[in-house]
Structure 1
Amino acid sequence: ANHGLAGAEFLAGIPGTVGGALAMNAGCHGGETWGIVERVLMLDRNGALRERTAADFEIGYRHVGLRDAADECFAAAWFRLPAGETAASRRRIRDLLEKRIASQPLQWPNAGSVFRNPPDDHAARLIEAAGLKGLQIGGAHVSEKHANFIVNPERRATAADIEALIERVQTRVREAFGIELVREVRIVGDKA
């Protein structure tokens, strides 16, 4: 916005990194990361760099995978952003941040939305309908403000607490509605 460019306002307030946004096609409010990507630079395990475009990936809702199954990670990205009016972009960013603050538990440590929305529904609605708002395991809580967030208000949740709570939510929603919630967050490393 400060440089007279538009089109990436939807990213305002999404937690994480550019690499994470590319890896899971982060987005909200009608925008997705790969909708503005021109090309990316990938790094393989041997240290070799390779430029790729969207055609090299299978891109979907909160999913990005290399078509050739290469073991690479994102090192850089170039974004295609049209010229825009700075004041209008700043207003849109402000409005999106206000909406996010009003609807999400941003005052507590969290990793953003925990589950992908299933087709024609919302993970938060299902979690709330299953009576899981406020459910707690150790220091991890299902947020009272937005049920698709797991928060750490006392700052004492362990990885094991969070993973157990994720599994409990998945089990209860599956039992109540027959719907399998798919994690949007990625768990890195061995199970806690």
Structure 2
Amino acid sequence: MSGMTAVAPADAGAVTNGRASSPAAPAFAGATRGRVTPNAPLAPLTWFKTGGPADTLFEPADVADLQDFLRALDSETPVMALGLGSNMIVRDGGIPGVVVRLGKAFAKTSTDGLTLTAGGGTSGILVSSTARDAGIAGLEFLRSIPGTVGGFVRMNGGAYGSETSDVLVDCDVVLRSGELVTLAGSDLGYTYRHSDLPEGAIVVSATFKGRAGEPAAIQAEMDRIAASREASQPLRSKTGGSTFKNPEGDKAWQVIDAAGCRGLTRGGAQVSEKHTNFLLNTGGATSADIEDLGEDVRARVKAHSGVELEWEIQRVGRK
């Protein structure tokens, strides 16, 4: 069929980054208008710039293409969405099954009064700037979230006193079965950095509601947030964002610092000197270095203060 790509399995026993991948990419007998890449390197797509390949990387042309692909895919094949690759450690053994990456077709925005609808691949920066132009206040905090709509809807991303759950009206989600459903924000079981979205479900769009505001005042708040992040976070390093959730009644960076972890290293990974809740790839780290360093931090904090730090960064794939 013209313009469509058939999915072929990867070569059996292919080796990437010194590790054997799964014997073959997921079987898929259909065709797609999107792009399918077997044994696809993921390190270039993540903020840490580490990790192994995906068995298959799928970049759908649109929502219908994604639905058709998932319907035709073996129901036992795991599926995971990938946004901008922040807030994530892709382990060195790669990711089994299919990784779905939403491209430009999923990065469109529109406004209606005080509501804004954005595709699942839209960055937080674009959402907040679109809201500014439309005179919608209350979404400025999304400027500081280094990810896409799909990611911060799933994880209830938040910063500077606000969370996604505060502004989300509803979202369109393609389930693992290929079914497209609309879920209200109240259906997502939101808690701190968590939702009850089912495994394999992919957020393809979301609608947010703010309040009336003046574009100049909205821009001023966005500028304040940007300056605060620049001053306090290692934004120009290979990092993944905030590593651990804030313990109740405390700040993760404070308990990490108090435990003597500032500058701590493991292989090519380091606890940031600038902000101790950030881990860095100093140049030659593996994903194992980064994850093991995180566990070193958790152990030291536990021994020092009794606080059990919980990972905020997702750790996915084979070790």
Same fold (TM over 0.5): yes
Distance 2:297 2:261 in 1: 7
Please tell me whether residue 188 in structure 1 is matched to residue 319 in structure 2: no
The residue type equivalent to 1:81 in the other structure is G
The residue type equivalent to 1:174 in the other structure is K
Please tell me whether residue 170 in structure 1 is matched to residue 298 in structure 2: yes
After TM superposition, which residue ranges in structure 1, 4 or more long, deviate above 2 angstroms?
A: 69-73
Please tell me whether residue 114 in structure 1 is matched to residue 243 in structure 2: yes
Distance 2:273 2:241 in 1: 14
Highest CA radius of gyration, 1 or 2? Answer: 2
1:127 match: 256
1:93 match: 222
The alpha-carbon deviation at position 189 of structure 1 amounts to 1.5
Unaligned runs of 5+ in 2: 1-131
2:148 match: 17
SS in structure 1 opposite 2:177? coil
Distance 2:248 2:199 in 1: 29
Distance 2:199 2:221 in 1: 38
1:63 match: 194
The alpha-carbon deviation at position 71 of structure 1 amounts to 5.1
CA distances 1:84-115 after superposition (whole Å, capped 9, x unpaired): 10000000000111011111111202111000
Distance 2:280 2:134 in 1: 35
What is the percent sequence identity of the aligned residues?
43
SS in structure 2 opposite 1:187? strand
Please tell me whether residue 28 in structure 1 is matched to residue 156 in structure 2: no
1:84 match: 213
Distance 2:203 2:138 in 1: 21
Q: TM-score, normalised by structure 2?
A: 0.57
2:46 match: none
- Higher relative contact order structure (alpha carbons within 8 Å, sequence separation ≥ 6): 1
The residue type equivalent to 2:141 in the other structure is F
The residue type equivalent to 2:221 in the other structure is R
Please tell me whether residue 158 in structure 1 is matched to residue 289 in structure 2: no
Matched positions, count: 188
Once superposed, what is the RMSD of the aligned Cα atoms?
Answer: 1.4
Q: Which of the two has greater strand per residue?
A: 2
The alpha-carbon deviation at position 35 of structure 1 amounts to 0.8
The alpha-carbon deviation at position 23 of structure 1 amounts to 1.2
CA distances 1:23-61 after superposition (whole Å, capped 9, x unpaired): 111111111011111100111112110001022121111
Unaligned runs of 5+ in 1: none
